[in-house]
Chain A
Amino acid sequence: MATSKVEGSSSLRHAFGGVLSVFILLLIGVVAFSIRLFSVIKYESVIHEFDPYFNYRVTQFLSKNGIYDFWNWFDDRTWYPLGRVIGGTVYPGLTLTAGTMWKLANSLNIPLSVETVCVFTAPIFSAFAAWATYLLTKEVKGPGAGITAAAILAMVPSYISRSVAGSYDNEAVAIFALIFTFYLYIKTLNTGSLFYATLNSLAYFYMVCSWGGYTFIINLIPMHVLLCIVTGRYSSRLYIAYAPLVVLGTLLAALVPVVGFNAVMTSEHFGSFLVFIIIHVVALVYYIKGILTPRLFKVATTLVLTVGIAVCAVVVAILVALVASSPTKGWSGRSLSLLDPTYASKYIPIIASVSEHQPPTWPSYFMDINVLAFLVPAGIVACFLPLSDASSFAVLYLVTSVYFSGVMVRLMLVLAPAACIMSGIALSEAFGVLTRSMKFHITKYFECSHTEAPAKLGESTSTESSAPLENMTKSDTTEKPEVARKEKVARRKQKKEKELTENAHVKPVSAKKEKRPLVLPLEASIVSVFLLIVLGGLYVLHCVWAAAEAYSAPSIVLTSHSHDGLHVFDDFREAYAWLRHNTEVDDKVASWWDYGYQTTAMANRTVIVDNNTWNNTHIATVGTAMSSPEKAAWEIFNSLDVKYVLVVFGGLVGYPSDDINKFLWMVRIGGGVFPHIKEADYLKDGQYRVDAQATHTMLNCLMYKLSYYRFVETDGKGFDRVRRYEIGKKHFKLTHFEEVFTTHHWMVRIYKLKPQKNRIRGKSRKSKLGSKSTSSKSGGMTHKNPWN
């Protein structure tokens, strides 16, 4: 009777806990979603930045033309005259996800525009990512840690920076896919179930669809498998977790057009195949070990080792030779710059020129993960008490992602979930210890003070406190014969895996029981709990601040607070709207590649280069044109059929990321392909400047002229507010270009190439003579037009 009562109350408690945790998770999802809405509330529901505009455009195409046309889409609006095969060069995961969501909503007659769906994809998937984190951490360290980690991840600034509403980029769904893949891997590892292994490969497939960062998974999981093998933790569960993932995952990955045969041919994937071979060898060894007697096994080992090492050496030699024969050693540029942080700046300026590929600074760590940086070490310690397969994976994930985040700012995003999981574990363990000791003290206090009146209160508390323990022992005792019987059955039926899982389940319980609860003094634990809550509160405050102030600006609309209120700079859209409505549909617009995606998406005009920097030569051509004198630039642009040239200029309002500040990269990239452009010509004593001391080449290049054309007339001096000095050459005329549009704050200036026929012969000769007499270097440039 009594036992059934206790069982009943405990099951009720379980149900209550379950409902409570579901409710908490729901709230965490709501928090994850709503903290990312600052951008919509403070600005508007609009797509942000650069790459999201491309994804948005692709999604529009998908929703309009359907999936088959999407795969076959050859985009002639970009990389003119080359074009780009979008279907084969894009990671389709994000687009397909948003497209499916849009289609689903529309089939239910919920009128959502594609833009709305795209804007809110990232916040929705952040909620999913928080839930995936709960599942993963639950597998590693139990549901308490899971909920804490999910709550932390829901608002970690690093992740918010990439997933605010409107930030419609691959990372938005990829982080969810990453965490979920890891969860399924750990789940498979813990259960040894083929069902989860299959799901794991499917999740991996989704990750491959979504983001190039999938190589992180396909390298991290083999590393963990290797770690397990090396530390002697090989089990059939490990085999089931790994082998199907490699086989199925690679097959599925090869289905994604952008990956294709890269899934088996590039060096990023070799590690997984190597470990695949190793795990089979190990599995074979374990199998043989099971069959043979120890003595025979020893003989066999020596025999196999000598032959095996020889074979291995040959295979490795062939592989190394194959890989070494390719110039990049079979690695892509971005991956190489991960392994060797100095690689990009040495060889590929185009990768180095992107600010998010730079190494982060220390403050950015504090900005992006805040107090988690302090909690992570505690989490690592907690993971080692005791170390399981799952917790070792978490530690490995953390360590590798710390390294990668140190190489590229962008990969801070991969570190964030790891830091959240670790901090979640740390916090929940700390709370566990502290509350347990508080409870211990309180029950003791009640027992001592009310000795003469044990009454109902003490009784109830004591039963309450002892109930789980009792229950635990009860269930253990009831389980034990069952387990024993099952073991018998299992042994008879050779179901070794099942036994192992049972053991795995039983082990932590018994370990917990053996360990005497760590008891801290009451006062200390109360203070610590209080401090931890304060720490969490600080973290929440920081996250809300970061979400509201730092990371929600859409970057196409800029605002500034001045004494007379809020000032909005909407120049980019002004220029794009002008291009969209007042130029011919087939006109080509040349600009630096940063603005390519936005021009195609917002202005719907053909561009020469865009943010998908797949053709270095083409970008170098535009860079060369921008750094050439007017006539040479005109020739290059004219040969590319360009009608309009767009430059971004911040000198009037002090917008620092304008084309003049990016100009050195244009020179570098241009000079990398066309050697007549020399960086030294644009630098005065190694310094980049556009004031009176600037070099002649600098003051006569197209970028300078287009940026500062008639700029001096604004204030009479030509004071540049970004560079904070007066410009070098103030009064000049344009001979081959004419201004057709400049936005309200001068941030975007659009010029038209003057038609050839309008030039009078005498005049053109004069200008040619003039340019020859003024500079000996630029005279040669006209002949080196790369397109002639």
Chain B
Amino acid sequence: MECRLPFSLVVFCLVILSSTVRSELVISSVEKWVDLHSHIVRVVSFLKVENQGPYDVSEFVLAFPDAQAKNLATMLVIYLEEGKIIYSEFPINSTKPKSKQSNMTFYPVTLPKKLEKGKTAGLDVYVVLTNLLKPLPKEITQAESQLLVYTDNIYYTSPYHIRNQSIVFRLPGRIESYSEYSEMRLVESELRYGPFEEQPPFSYSPVVVHFENNNSFAVASNFVQEIEISHWGNVQVTEQYTIIHGGAHLKNGFSRIDYQANPSMSGASSFRTLVARLPPMSHSVYYRDEIGNISTSHLRGDSQGTQLEMELRFPMFGGWKISFSIGYSLPLHDFLFESDAGNNVLNITFGSSIEEIVVENQIVRVVLPQGSKDISVKSQFPTKKSQELKYSHLDIVGRPVVVLEKDNVVPEHKRYFQVYIYYKFNNIFLLGKAMMLILGIFLLFLMCILYMHADLALSKTSSWEEETEGRK
């Protein structure tokens, strides 16, 4: 494969280097678990890596086919040595694929500790993928179940030699069909292929699973979150969603009588409610869309968090779309801290508050109070950052807005990553608006007093004439 890229000496050297790096490592065993319960595919691979080369190795390369890499939402690698977790936070997403080889994308992982020669270490790779489940048939009626197809490589895609491997698909229910292999076993809802012994790098053999999955296929094509900070002690969060049912499209129309009266035809693949987990202490929650309040929702709160159960305006069938917005207020002291340098540090959670949802495009707008300075953002994954100004509530100079944009956001982002925003704010600005109002009203009264005392008549002829009259 190296012969494909001889056009530059540098590249050539690089490739030689990487290939030598690769050849030193051997994956002694891999077990790959593919969770297909929802429309988000979660893959956990338990790798055992052995260093057979003469040198210590500090880098390990993960490889994914382009089709998966394109839809890779997030990845987490846990490094184990002798069964103990050594290090679990890898800033992997921030590194770019190093080189391209045919249809592969590589993610080099810098190990926290060099792997000495002859030693073995464990690597747990947790990958979240979206958009990989394709409905088949593409259109179903209300009575039918939704069937999905998942295609993968039966062998673990890796640039290293693999001695022993197996792959397990965990399915939510009935299985329609699957690729036949000699080493395979179907136990209830677990489909296991393997073990396969001694496979060279980049072994490939397709495996297709066709199975029933009626879990809610909610995809937010657009999600805008606005977080408005008030140093009076409140954080106002507004979230706007456009949600699509990303599964098999509905054909032959929707029949309410079947939906209501006939449980078998009530649209197993449709969903009617979405659950949002709001932070604890959320209050003043609203749920509405562009034509008014949506009255069907329940709110439950405890110390762990607030759960907002939203019933959508109509049950969502395949291909249907809806949009709505929710909003809530939070106490500021849970999110704002003071750093030693006199900075305010705002700690916000990225991601949607709705459970099990894929966000295709998320925009977070953090509106800082008027007069904030020296703003800097630190996030643990790459986002498009920009700044703008927003005018609201009698603003004069406008509030700085930090805009973060990211594609393909999954619930895992919410759990593991946080965004820190540093800025400086002088609390004296809090009084500015009150002063402005006082001054405004004072001026108004002053003008009224002046107007009452001033004589604005244009001509004084009549009085003058009377005076002259009197003199005569």
In the bound complex, how far is the Cα of B253 from the Cα of A738, in angstroms?
A: 7
Asked, given contacts A109-B393, A714-B261, whether A573 binds B253 with beta carbons under 8 Å apart, the answer is no
A489: chain B residues at CB < 8 Å are: 466, 469
> Of the 9-residue stretches A157-165, A382-390, A574-582, which lies at the interface with chain B?
A574-582
Number of A-B contacts (CB under 8 A): 79
Question: Does A581 lie within 8 Å of B320, measured CB to CB?
Answer: yes
Q: Mark B286-323, 1 if CB is under 8 A from A, else 0.
A: 00010111111000000000000000011000011111
- Whether, in the assembled complex, A111 has its beta carbon less than 8 Å from a beta carbon of chain B, the answer is yes
**Does A710 touch B at the CB level, under 8 Å?**
yes
Q: Is A682 an interface residue (CB 8 A)?
A: no
CB of A71 within 8 Å of the partner chain: no
Are B254 and A743 in touch, CB under 8 angstroms?
no
Interface pair A739/B255, CB less than 8 Å apart: yes
**Is there a chain A Cβ closer than 8 Å to B89's Cβ?**
no
Task: Please state if A581 and B253 are interface contacts (CB–CB under 8 Å).
Answer: no
- Cβ contact within 8 Å between B293 and A46: yes
Question: Which residue of the partner chain, among B261, B292, B320, B393, contacts A713 with CB atoms under 8 Å?
Answer: B261
Q: Does A511 contact B (CB under 8 A)?
A: no
Among residues of B, the one whose C-beta sits closest to the C-beta of A486 is: B466
**Chain A positions within 8 Å of B323 at CB level:** 581
Cβ contact of B394, chosen from A108, A713, A752, cutoff 8 A: A108
A582 to B318, CA, bound (A): 11
Q: Contacts A581-B322, A582-B320, A710-B255; is A111 near B392 (CB within 8 Å)?
A: yes
Instruction: Kindly list chain A residues whose C-beta atoms are within 8 Å of the C-beta of B256.
Output: 741-744, 746
**Which A residues lie within 8 Å of B319 (CB)?**
582
Determine whether the beta carbon of B292 is less than 8 Å from that of A46.
Answer: yes
Q: Report B7 CB to chain A, min CB distance, Å.
A: 49
| B-contact bits for A555-575, CB 8 A (1 contact / 0 none) | 011000000000010100110
- Chain B interface residue bracket vs A: 20 to 34
A577 near B291: Cβ-Cβ < 8 Å: yes
Within the complex, what minimum Cβ distance (angstroms) separates B47 from chain A? 45
Known: A581-B321, A714-B261. A570 touches B295 (CB 8 A): yes
CB contact under 8 A between A739 and B291, given known A108-B394, A109-B392, A489-B466? no
**Is A110 within 8 A of B393, CB to CB?**
yes
Does A685 sit at the interface, judged by CB under 8 A? no
Q: Are A576 and B291 in contact (CB under 8 A)?
A: yes
A732-779 interface with B by 8 A CB criterion: 738-744, 746, 752
A44 within 8 A of B: yes
User: Is B284's CB within 8 Å of the partner chain A?
Assistant: no
A111-B320 contact given A557-B295, A577-B313, CB 8 Å threshold: no
| Complex-state Cα separation, A755 to B422, whole angstroms | 59
Complex CA gap A788/B19 in Å reads 76
> Is A573 a contact partner of B321 (Cβ separation < 8 A)?
no
User: Which of A1-53 touch B at CB < 8 Å?
Assistant: 44-46
Residues of B within 8 A of A108 (CB): 394
Residue of A577, A713, A743 contacting most chain B CB atoms (<10 Å)? A577
**Interface residue? A348 (CB, 8 A):** no
Interface string of A441-456 (1 = CB under 8 A from B): 0000000000000000
Chain B residues within 8 Å of A581, by CB: 320-323
Contact B313 A578 (CB under 8 A): yes
- Provide the residues of chain A in CB contact with B320, threshold 8 Å: 578, 581-582
Closest Cβ neighbor of A740 among chain B residues: B253
Give CA–CA (A568, B311) in the complex, Å: 13
Q: Most chain-A Cβ atoms within 10 A of its Cβ — which of B261, B291, B293, B295?
A: B291
A235 to B29, CA, bound (A): 111
For the residues of B in contact with A, the DSSP-based class is loop
Q: Separation in Å of the B358 CB from the closest CB of chain A?
A: 18
**Most chain A CB atoms below 10 A, which of B254, B320, B323, B393:** B254
Q: In the complex, what distance in Å separates the CA atom of A581 from the CA atom of B466?
A: 77
Whether, in the assembled complex, A602 has its beta carbon less than 8 Å from a beta carbon of chain B, the answer is yes
CB < 8 Å neighbour of A710 from B254, B257, B314, B393: B257
Contacts of A710 in B (CB 8 A): 255, 257
The answer to whether B253 and A739 have CB atoms under 8 Å apart is: yes
Distance of A574 Cα from B313 Cα, bound (Å) = 5
Q: Restricting to B235-258, which residues have a CB under 8 Å from any CB of A?
A: 252-257
A451–B322 CA distance with the chains assembled, in angstroms: 86
CB <8 Å contact, B252 and A738: yes
Chain B contacts for A568, CB-based, 8 A: 295-296
- List B259-287 residues whose CB lies under 8 Å from chain A: 261
CB-defined contacts of B293 to chain A, threshold 8 Å: 44-46
Verify if B197 is at the interface (C-beta below 8 Å from A).
no
Given A578-B313, A581-B322, do A573 and B291 touch, yes or no (CB 8 Å)?
yes
Whole-angstrom CA separation of A568 from B292 in the bound complex: 14
The smallest C-beta distance from A386 to any residue of chain B, in angstroms, reads: 31
Q: Which residues of B contact A741 (CB under 8 A)?
A: 253-254, 256, 314
Whether B392 pairs with A570 at a CB distance below 8 angstroms is no
**For the complex, is B391 an interface residue (Cβ under 8 Å from A)?**
yes
CB-nearest residue of chain A to B292: A46
For A713, what are the chain B residues with a Cβ–Cβ distance below 8 Å?
Answer: 257, 261
Q: Confirm or deny: B395 has a beta carbon within 8 angstroms of a beta carbon on chain A.
A: yes
**B257 — which chain A residues lie within 8 A by C-beta?**
710, 713-714, 742
Q: How far is the CB of B235 from chain A (nearest CB, A)?
A: 17
Out of A111, A556, A573, A746, name the residue touching B313 (CB < 8 Å): A573
B:177-227 near A, CB below 8 Å: none
Q: CA–CA, A617 to B345, complex, Å?
A: 67
Residues of B within 8 A of A44 (CB): 292-293
Chain A residues, Cβ within 8 Å of B294: 570
Asked if B291 and A602 make an inter-chain contact with CB atoms under 8 angstroms apart, the answer reads yes
Report the Cα distance A601→B286, complex, angstroms.
Answer: 22
Nearest chain B residue, comparing its CB with the CB of A749:
B256
Distance in angstroms from A207 CB to nearest chain B CB is: 28
Query: Chain A 584-612, CB within 8 Å of chain B: the 1/0 string?
Result: 00000000000000000010000000000
B314 touches A743 (CB 8 A): yes
Question: Can you name the residue of chain A whose Cβ is closest to the Cβ of B394?
Answer: A109
Report how far A602 CA is from B256 CA in the complex, Å.
Answer: 22
Whether A573 pairs with B395 at a CB distance below 8 angstroms is no
Given A44-B292, A109-B391, A568-B295, also A577-B255 (CB < 8 A): no
Collect the chain B residues with CB atoms within 8 Å of residue A45's CB. Answer: 293
**With a CB–CB cut-off of 8 A, which chain A residues contact B253?**
738-741, 752
A582 pairs with B321, CB closer than 8 A: yes
With a CB–CB cut-off of 8 A, which chain A residues contact B255? 710, 739, 742
Evaluate contact between B254 and A740: CB separation under 8 angstroms.
yes
In the assembled complex, the Cα of A45 lies from the Cα of B466 at a distance in Å of 61
Complex Cα spacing A401 to B366, Å:
57
Q: How near does chain B come to A733, taking the closest CB pair, in angstroms?
A: 13
CB-defined contacts of B295 to chain A, threshold 8 Å: 557, 568, 570
Residues of the A chain whose Cβ atoms lie less than 8 Å from the Cβ of B313: 570, 573-574, 577-578
In angstroms, Cα B257 to Cα A710, docked, is 8
Considering the complex, which residues of chain B in the window 320-346 have a beta carbon less than 8 Å from any beta carbon of chain A? 320-323
**Are the C-beta atoms of A570 and B261 separated by less than 8 Å?**
no
25 pairs, A vs B, C-beta closer than 8 Å: A44-B293, A46-B291, A46-B292, A108-B394, A109-B393, A557-B295, A568-B295, A570-B295, A573-B292, A574-B313, A574-B314, A577-B291, A581-B320, A581-B322, A582-B320, A602-B291, A713-B257, A714-B257, A714-B261, A738-B253, A739-B253, A739-B255, A740-B254, A744-B256, A744-B314
The 6 closest A-B pairs by CB, nearest first: A742-B256, A740-B253, A46-B292, A44-B293, A111-B392, A581-B321
Interface residues of A (CB under 8 A from B): 44-46, 108-111, 489, 556-557, 568, 570, 573-574, 576-578, 580-582, 602, 710, 713-714, 738-744, 746, 752
Instruction: Report which B residues bind A (CB closer than 8 A).
Output: 252-257, 261, 289, 291-296, 313-314, 319-323, 391-396, 466, 469
Q: Contacts A556-B292, A573-B291, A578-B320 known; list 19 others, CB within 8 Å.
A: A45-B293, A109-B392, A109-B395, A570-B295, A570-B296, A577-B289, A577-B322, A581-B321, A581-B322, A582-B319, A582-B321, A710-B255, A714-B257, A738-B253, A740-B253, A741-B253, A742-B256, A743-B314, A744-B256
